[in-house]
Amino acid sequence: MEQANILIVDDEEGIRFQLKWALNKDYQVVLAADSNIALQCIREKRPNVVLLDIALSAVDNTGGLRLLDAIQEIDTTIKVVMITGHDTRSNALEAIARGAYDFYSKPIDLDEIRIVIKRALYIQALQRENMALRLKVTEESRSALIGKSPQMCDVIEMIEQISSKDNVTVLIQGESGTGKEVVAREIHGLSAVGGKFVAVDCGSIPAELIESELFGHEKGAFTSAHRLKTGRLEEAENGTLFLDEIAELPLGLQVKFLRFLQQREIQRVGGLKVIPIHTRVIAATNRNLEAEVANGNFRTDLYFRLSVVTLFLPPLCERGNDILLLANAYLNRYQADFGKQITGFTPGAVEAMMQHSWTGNVRELQNRILRGLVVMRGDQLTAEDMDFATPIKSSQTLQDAKADIERKFIERALYQHQGNISSAADFIGVTRTTFYDLLKKHQIVASNYRNQSNDK
């Protein structure tokens, strides 16, 4: 793996070389004694982390702040750690408000500064990965399907192959919430047919009404038939008929629908006129149709007619990083509706999403993101916002559980008070000194929770 690039900016030669000696084994280290050299290095090398002395000369205590502003204009993902003396601590807090990642007070403890750099690189990696995913989502927003997993690549390839063959029936199989209708609409959208996309949920229509719903009826065909009604098949002429939950189609009606697939013509209920219909049929089910055939609940001949091409949609838990692609897509789509500017997901939210079982699949992911946008307080969605419960690990002791609760309590206080340490400390009833000790104990970076606020 390529080493991260660290830029050290300090007017004291001794500090520059001390830090280089300490960090050179693990990182590519570049030194700069003033702002001009530093800016040149930043433009040419784009370092991952900058250790920046806030007072770059004995006569100017704010030179580091001006350089920080310049770095922010070049690349906001560069993590700047302000190195400060005791007399410039207030300036360091100002730097945090202006975009610095963190500050560290002299004298420098080399072991501690290594931990600060390691955390900064971790946060930067998550941020850049999140930005890359969001960019990828934007580039692919023309398609209703989002996915890079091998299973979804196979599905997308098959869609492209069959979309132009509008005389071929398609069966889509997958768990509830995997996006079967999305796939059907994509096939329709890529095809050359000019008619409508007509969706019918076979499971939501009473058995005594579904025949009339699909085939239509003539006036007087039955007691309540007061007028002629065209069915969904006629409505989908020169378009696509999507039959969701096809396994719910009554056995008696399966015979009539099979006849339509064979002859491409229908008769309305109570009618004698034969009506030719040209429409593509796409069926979907969350049940195993082969098992339904074996159990006598579904006709073998209809199954083979419907499954000329079969697409299997994988459950979300098997799609790997597609979870994050989809999450970013929905975040981009929904945040404008809530009037919010969201920078992404916290590391905890990402971990929760990647470990969740997703029994509700893509639909559950949508709902959790919408829920998070309603209740969130910070500028990133957290695992708590998305209503993820924290499971108890098998190896977790009571002491571990207490520490986990304490850490989450501190993080929530920081979120509620936008990273303002004084307010957060007061909120949980401890002194600032105790709060700083708690931050250090749990390795929490307060600046990650700030949203254009100053810690005064």
Write out pLDDT tens, residues 178-212: 999 999 998 998 887 778 899 999 988 888 888 88
129 or 212: which carries more pLDDT confidence?
212
381, 350, 328, 340: CA torsion to nearest 10: 10
At 411, is the pLDDT very low, low, confident or very high (cuts 50, 70, 90)?
Answer: confident
In tens, the pLDDT along 255-295 reads: 999 999 999 998 888 888 889 999 999 999 999 999 999 99
Comma-separated ranges of CATH 3.40.50.300 domains in the chain? 150-313
152 or 73: which carries more pLDDT confidence?
152
* CATH T-level assignment (fold) for domain 150-313: Rossmann fold (3.40.50)
Evaluate whether 450 touches 418 at the Cβ level (below 8 Å): yes
Longest dimension (CA), the chain: 99
The answer to pTM > 0.75 is no
Residue listed under structure tokens 């073998």: 300
As a CATH number, domain 318-449 is 1.10.8.60
Lowest mean pLDDT across 130-139, 186-195, 223-232, 236-245: 130-139
Structure tokens at 24: 């050179």
pLDDT above 80: residue 418:
no
Report helix, strand and coil shares of the chain as percent, to nearest 5.
50, 15, 35
Residues 6+ apart with CB under 8 A from 9: 32, 33, 34, 35, 38, 50, 51, 52, 53, 56, 64, 67
Comma-separated ranges of CATH 3.40.50.2300 domains in the chain? 5-138
d(CA 366, CA 44): 41
Comma-separated ranges of CATH 1.10.8.60 domains in the chain? 318-449
Q: Is 237 exposed, middle or buried (0-12, 13-18, 19+ CB in 10 A)?
A: middle
Confidence at residue 132, expressed as pLDDT on a 0 to 100 scale: 67
d(CA 411, CA 445): 9
Mean pLDDT, the chain, whole residue set: 84
Confidence at residue 139, expressed as pLDDT on a 0 to 100 scale: 44
pLDDT above 50: residue 141:
no
Confidence at residue 315, expressed as pLDDT on a 0 to 100 scale: 92
d(CA 334, CA 372): 11
Evaluate whether 314 touches 149 at the Cβ level (below 8 Å): yes
**Which of 207, 202, 192 shows the shortest CA–CA distance to 162?**
192
Q: Is domain 5-138 annotated with CATH 3.40.50.2300?
A: yes
At 311, is the pLDDT very low, low, confident or very high (cuts 50, 70, 90)?
Answer: very high
Residues 6+ apart with CB under 8 A from 5: 27, 28, 30, 45, 46, 47, 48, 49
